[in-house]
Amino acid sequence: MKTNPVIDAILSRRSTRAFEVKPIPKEDLEAIVTCGVWAPSAMNRQEWTFIVVNDRERIQNLAAVIGTALDRENYQMYSPEAAIIVGHKKGAQFGREDDGCAMENMFLAAHSLGIGSCWINQLQGICDVPEVRSQLSDLGLPEDYEVHGICILGYGAKETPAKERESTVIWA
């Protein structure tokens, strides 16, 4: 198979679910969120909002209300060092798709900087639970926005091995 640095990055990125307690430099977070901002969006509308949270306590407060809303005791969102919340106006026609493109760009950017990442999708459908909405509002998300994904970030505490690919590819 043909390869290059971009293909290598795509094939070597893994979801990280165990993080070291080690701050991520602000310039790295800026680069990661900028890559999200530059992701493709439907009709180039760029309707998303990005909220960068690099305060572990605030992240854990959000994780706690998510855990309560989902009846998941001790939910910690894998205790990341930072999180980038991607929000879209409720009911945006292509919000979920746009957010997915932004998330993937951020995952690959993080990986290229030696930073682990993982998609957190638990906020889908619970953004308007009062305690959850309160936390999201405190972080700056407008009341009429919903979240399809959170990009959690940190330096991996252990290596994540690749799993065998099971997707079907049909050449027509």
Residues 110-162 have pLDDT tens digits of 999 999 999 999 998 999 999 999 999 999 999 999 999 999 999 999 988 88
Supply the range of the domain harboring residue 123.
20-154
pTM of the complete model? 0.94
Is 3 part of a structural domain of the chain? no
Q: Is residue 101 part of a domain?
A: yes
Closest by CA position to 128, among listed 172, 90, 81, 166: 90
CA distances 28 to 63, 79, 81, 142, Å, are: 23, 19, 12, 26
The reply to whether 24 falls in a domain is: yes
Token representation of residue 135: 């936390």
- pLDDT band for position 172 (50/70/90)? very high
Alpha-carbon span 128 to 121, nearest angstrom: 15
The tens digit of pLDDT for each residue in 61-109 reads 999 999 999 999 999 999 999 999 999 999 999 999 999 999 999 999 9
Mark residue 71 as left, alpha or beta (left: phi above 0; alpha: psi -120 to 50; beta: remaining): left
| Number of domains into which the chain is organized | 1
